[in-house]
Amino acid sequence: MESGRLEAFSDGVFAVAITLLALNLAVPGPGHGPLGEQLVHHWPVFAAYVVSFLTIGIIWVNHHALFRNFARIDRPLLFFNLLLLFFIVSIPFATATIADYLSRSGPDAALASAIYQGVFLGMSLSFGALLWWSIRREHLRTPLTGTSARWAFIRFAGGNVVYAAAIGVAFLSPLASLIVSGLVAVYYVFEHTPAQAQGPAGKSEAPSGPEPYDR
């Protein structure tokens, strides 16, 4: 399989997931009080939507950047990518669940928030696995070894620790847990995947042909 085919399939999944987020935005409508009050009371839905939209969008950007750096793709990499997509398509469900309980308290609200953070943790772990495997099997155009590989993995997979901590925070404050997820999204706006190989003029070298698929 060429990288382009894998990315096209992944892009389709990202597009569906990010679109499904909007299905929960509708307010009850006429007959349920003034529109302004409905919008105010609907704030948990809007808050969860913003965090989830940003997270999926940033994952898509970093996914694209990472796969541009792959010199080849093997079978395990395909399954790591499928695992990532499994959690991506679960985000709309987790978003709708936390939105329903965000303004409430009690064990149900804590569980809804923990489910949300659990999906994000699974997504982050599977994304980290993509980078780990690409470094271990030297799939990157510019192989990373030693200290550079360790630091790249730590920076790229740092969200795992925060998402795991956010599961604990969920049982104290679902809203605080959601804010933690938003901060992780902001971090990954600035975090970059390992750079492509640089040509003599300082420009990234483009692939000379279709990227091979290793079985």
pLDDT of residue 209: 44
Report the pLDDT value the prediction gives residue 200, as an integer from 0 to 100. 40
Most confident option among 2-11, 25-34, 119-128, 135-144: 119-128
- How buried is 76 (Cβ within 10 angstroms: 0-12 exposed, 13-18 middle, 19+ buried)? middle
189-195 average pLDDT score: 65
Ranges of H-type helices in the chain: 3-20, 35-41, 43-68, 75-88, 91-101, 107-136, 146-156, 159-170, 174-190
Of 48-57, 126-135, 152-161, 179-188, the poorest mean pLDDT is in 152-161
